[in-house]
Amino acid sequence: DRAAGLNNFAGIASTGMSLAFGSDAPVTAARPWPMLRAAVHHHTPGSGISPRAAFAAATRGAWRAGGVRDGLAGTLDPGAPASYAVWEAGELVISAPKDSVQRWSTDPRSRVAPLPDLAPGTDDPVLVRSVHRGRIVYER
Protein backbone atom coordinates (compact mmCIF):
# COMPACT_ATOMS: atom_id res chain seq x y z
CA ASP A 1 0.00 0.00 0.00
CA ARG A 2 2.81 2.39 0.88
CA ALA A 3 4.54 1.96 -2.53
CA ALA A 4 1.55 3.37 -4.45
CA GLY A 5 2.16 6.83 -3.02
CA LEU A 6 5.94 6.92 -3.42
CA ASN A 7 7.79 8.99 -6.01
CA ASN A 8 4.82 10.72 -7.61
CA PHE A 9 7.11 12.51 -10.05
CA ALA A 10 4.29 14.04 -12.10
CA GLY A 11 2.62 15.39 -8.95
CA ILE A 12 5.87 16.85 -7.66
CA ALA A 13 6.70 18.45 -11.02
CA SER A 14 3.19 19.90 -11.29
CA THR A 15 3.85 21.98 -8.16
CA GLY A 16 6.81 23.64 -9.86
CA MET A 17 9.36 21.80 -7.74
CA SER A 18 12.51 20.75 -9.58
CA LEU A 19 13.33 17.06 -9.84
CA ALA A 20 16.84 15.69 -9.44
CA PHE A 21 17.72 12.07 -10.14
CA GLY A 22 20.88 10.22 -9.24
CA SER A 23 21.97 6.73 -8.30
CA ASP A 24 21.71 5.14 -4.90
CA ALA A 25 25.03 3.34 -5.45
CA PRO A 26 26.33 1.18 -3.88
CA VAL A 27 22.86 0.19 -2.59
CA THR A 28 21.62 -0.14 -6.17
CA ALA A 29 23.54 -0.39 -9.43
CA ALA A 30 24.68 2.89 -10.97
CA ARG A 31 22.60 2.37 -14.14
CA PRO A 32 20.86 5.56 -15.28
CA TRP A 33 18.71 4.15 -18.09
CA PRO A 34 16.60 1.78 -15.93
CA MET A 35 16.18 4.68 -13.48
CA LEU A 36 14.89 6.94 -16.26
CA ARG A 37 12.68 4.16 -17.65
CA ALA A 38 11.13 3.67 -14.18
CA ALA A 39 10.42 7.41 -13.86
CA VAL A 40 8.68 7.43 -17.26
CA HIS A 41 6.78 4.15 -16.83
CA HIS A 42 5.87 4.65 -13.17
CA HIS A 43 4.19 1.80 -11.31
CA THR A 44 1.36 4.18 -10.32
CA PRO A 45 -0.70 5.49 -13.27
CA GLY A 46 -0.40 9.25 -13.64
CA SER A 47 2.82 9.53 -11.61
CA GLY A 48 5.28 9.13 -14.48
CA ILE A 49 6.98 11.96 -16.32
CA SER A 50 8.10 12.42 -19.91
CA PRO A 51 11.44 11.01 -21.08
CA ARG A 52 12.63 14.59 -21.64
CA ALA A 53 11.73 15.59 -18.04
CA ALA A 54 13.41 12.46 -16.65
CA PHE A 55 16.57 13.15 -18.67
CA ALA A 56 16.61 16.78 -17.45
CA ALA A 57 16.25 15.61 -13.83
CA ALA A 58 19.27 13.32 -14.27
CA THR A 59 21.41 16.00 -15.93
CA ARG A 60 20.59 19.63 -15.09
CA GLY A 61 18.56 18.68 -12.02
CA ALA A 62 21.36 16.63 -10.51
CA TRP A 63 23.84 19.50 -10.86
CA ARG A 64 21.34 21.93 -9.29
CA ALA A 65 20.71 19.56 -6.39
CA GLY A 66 24.47 19.53 -5.85
CA GLY A 67 24.41 23.31 -5.46
CA VAL A 68 25.55 24.30 -8.95
CA ARG A 69 23.09 26.88 -10.23
CA ASP A 70 24.99 28.56 -13.06
CA GLY A 71 22.36 27.74 -15.69
CA LEU A 72 24.91 25.79 -17.74
CA ALA A 73 25.96 22.71 -15.75
CA GLY A 74 24.21 19.63 -17.05
CA THR A 75 23.86 21.05 -20.56
CA LEU A 76 25.88 20.76 -23.74
CA ASP A 77 26.22 24.47 -24.41
CA PRO A 78 29.16 26.78 -25.08
CA GLY A 79 30.67 27.80 -21.75
CA ALA A 80 29.22 24.84 -19.83
CA PRO A 81 31.58 22.63 -17.82
CA ALA A 82 32.87 19.85 -20.09
CA SER A 83 31.21 17.08 -18.09
CA TYR A 84 29.30 14.59 -20.20
CA ALA A 85 28.84 10.95 -21.15
CA VAL A 86 28.95 9.41 -24.60
CA TRP A 87 26.52 6.53 -25.10
CA GLU A 88 26.12 3.94 -27.81
CA ALA A 89 22.37 3.75 -28.29
CA GLY A 90 19.89 2.08 -30.58
CA GLU A 91 17.04 4.02 -32.11
CA LEU A 92 16.58 7.59 -30.88
CA VAL A 93 13.00 8.78 -30.49
CA ILE A 94 10.97 11.82 -29.53
CA SER A 95 8.19 10.73 -27.20
CA ALA A 96 5.84 11.94 -24.51
CA PRO A 97 3.92 9.92 -21.92
CA LYS A 98 0.45 8.86 -23.04
CA ASP A 99 -1.21 10.07 -19.82
CA SER A 100 -0.09 13.72 -19.93
CA VAL A 101 -0.27 16.79 -22.09
CA GLN A 102 2.49 16.90 -24.70
CA ARG A 103 4.37 20.18 -24.39
CA TRP A 104 6.56 19.97 -27.50
CA SER A 105 6.25 18.91 -31.08
CA THR A 106 7.37 15.47 -32.20
CA ASP A 107 7.63 16.74 -35.78
CA PRO A 108 11.30 16.38 -36.90
CA ARG A 109 11.22 19.96 -38.23
CA SER A 110 10.84 21.24 -34.65
CA ARG A 111 14.48 20.25 -33.94
CA VAL A 112 13.60 18.70 -30.54
CA ALA A 113 16.53 16.40 -29.78
CA PRO A 114 15.63 12.70 -29.70
CA LEU A 115 16.60 10.46 -26.80
CA PRO A 116 17.16 6.71 -26.46
CA ASP A 117 13.93 4.73 -26.49
CA LEU A 118 12.83 4.16 -22.88
CA ALA A 119 9.99 1.77 -23.69
CA PRO A 120 9.88 -1.30 -21.43
CA GLY A 121 12.01 -4.10 -22.80
CA THR A 122 14.32 -1.89 -24.86
CA ASP A 123 18.07 -2.28 -24.49
CA ASP A 124 19.95 0.22 -22.36
CA PRO A 125 22.49 2.43 -24.12
CA VAL A 126 26.09 1.40 -23.42
CA LEU A 127 28.53 3.87 -21.89
CA VAL A 128 31.43 4.58 -24.25
CA ARG A 129 33.15 7.45 -22.43
CA SER A 130 32.55 9.78 -19.52
CA VAL A 131 34.27 13.11 -19.08
CA HIS A 132 34.27 15.31 -15.99
CA ARG A 133 35.39 18.92 -16.35
CA GLY A 134 37.33 18.06 -19.50
CA ARG A 135 39.12 14.98 -18.09
CA ILE A 136 38.24 11.49 -19.35
CA VAL A 137 37.29 9.41 -16.31
CA TYR A 138 36.08 6.32 -18.18
CA GLU A 139 36.69 4.97 -21.66
CA ARG A 140 35.36 1.63 -22.90
Q: What mean pLDDT value characterizes the chain?
A: 85
pLDDT on residue 34: 92
Burial 10-20 (b: 16+ CB within 10 A, else e): beebeeeeebb
Residues ≥6 apart with Cβ < 8 Å to 83: 73, 131, 132, 133
Model's pTM, two decimal places? Answer: 0.82
- Do 9 and 42 contact (CB within 8 A), yes or no? yes
Please give the residue that has the higher pLDDT: either 24 or 112: 24
Find the mean pLDDT for residues 20-36. Answer: 86
List pLDDT tens digits, range 68-111: 888 888 888 888 888 899 999 998 988 755 555 455 555 555 56
Residues ≥6 apart with Cβ < 8 Å to 53: 9, 13, 19
